[in-house]
Amino acid sequence: MNTGGIKERATSYDIPGGEPPLIRLENIGMIYKIGDISYEALKGINLIVENGEFVSIMGASGSGKSTIMNILGCLDRPTAGKYFLEGKDVSNLTSDELAEIRNKKIGFVFQGFNLIQRLSIVENVELPLYYAGMYSKEATEMAMEALKLVDLAGTENKFPNQISGGEQQRVAIARAVVNNAPIIMADEPTGNLDSVRGADVMRFFKKINEERGATIILVSHDKNIADYGKRLITVKDGIIISSAVIESQSMV
């Protein structure tokens, strides 16, 4: 286990004239208010993620992992700090502008699969394309392509309750990649699956990262799952306490 240097690596961003990093969090803070009580879930997060990385985030329950993911995924706005996505400040955009970013740049995979039960598998996968203004054959073809990528060709006309949990999560992966989003966010994607199906699902994250060059940010409680990544970030009480390269890739 490598808990190496806490210091962030030097990035191309630091080199004058270089490309900005894909993701850059600057002193991100998040305060939740419930009535009169406010709770500081994030206390100054600094993070840089480069294009093509596979980052795993670990930390105790309640440490703020999901909160970070929601901000990174443009589902939520931080209450302090700045978030630069491809060099552009997105910390103060309107909800519709954030929706646009989610649609074009980010794919989500959640612990609970989050498929719409009323829609068929292929309709679920097509959903991001529908909101991108893409309809008909073109969209269906892209969805079928994405299903093929997760080895689910042939299930397109079934409904979510007709396939296994592992398969549902693979459908969710297909939905996340159908738009060719450069970033895939996965919050405990194997949390509802046994280790065999979990490994099955992780295979596809690795494939997407390696073959498509998508950047993957993954949250997991399970060290074995986190080890699919190339870098491990540890969160404790709303701050990042370590960031280290994962070397033990051989176990897969």
Partner 1 sequence: MPKRVKFAFFLDLKSAYKTLLRNKIRSLLTILGIIIGVGSVIATVSIGQGASEAIQSTINSMGSNMLIILPGSSSLGGVRTGFGILPTLTLNDAYAIRKLPAVKTDSGNLGMAQQVIWRGNNWSTFIMGASSTFPEIRDWPVAKGTFFTHQQVVSAANVAVIGNTAATELFGLINPIGHIILIHNVPFTVIGILSVKGFNAFGQDQDDTVVIPITTMQEKIAGTTWVHAIAVSAKSKEDTVIAQSEITALLRQRHHIPLHKPNDFFVRNLTEIAQAANSSANTFTILLASIAAVSLLVGGIGIMNIMLVSVTERTKEIGIRLAVGAKKKDILKQFLIESSVLSLFGGILGIAAGIGISNSISAFSPLKTIVTTEPIIISLVFSLCVGIFFGFYPAFKASRMNPVEALRYE
Ligand X SMILES: Nc1ncnc2c1ncn2[C@@H]1O[C@H](COP(=O)(O)OP(=O)(O)OP(=O)(O)O)[C@@H](O)[C@H]1O
Out of 16, 118, 161, 250, the only residue in the binding site for partner 1 (CB under 8 A) is 118
φ, ψ at 242 (rounded to 5°): -160, 155
Q: In what order do the strands lie in the sheet with 215-219?
A: 106-109, 183-187, 215-219, 54-59, 231-236, 239-245
If one asks whether residue 35 binds partner 1 (CB under 8 A), the answer comes out as no
Whole-angstrom CA distances from 88 to 95, 101, 145 are 16, 11, 31
Which partner, partner 1, Mg ion, ligand X, none, binds residue 133 by CB below 5 to 8 Å per kind? partner 1
Among 21, 64, 73, 198, binds ligand X (CB under 6 A): 64
Q: Where are the beta strands (DSSP E) in the chain?
A: 23-34, 37-49, 54-59, 80-85, 88-89, 106-109, 183-187, 215-219, 231-236, 239-245
| Cα separation, 215 vs 82, whole angstroms | 20
23-31, 52-60, 61-69, 72-80 -> range binding Mg ion (CB under 5 A): 61-69
- Residue 39 is a binding residue for ligand X (CB under 6 A): yes
Which residues, numbered 169-188, are part of the site for partner 1 (CB under 8 A)? 175
Position 220 contacts ligand X (CB under 6 A): no
Q: What does 34 interact with, of partner 1, Mg ion, ligand X, none (CB < 5 to 8 A by kind)? A: ligand X
- At its nearest, how many Å lie between Mg ion and the CB of residue 17? 38
Closest to partner 1 by CB, 114 or 242? 114
- What token pair was written down for 54? 């596979």
Residues that bind ligand X (CB under 6 A): 32, 34, 39, 41, 59, 61-67
Residues that bind Mg ion (CB under 5 A): 66
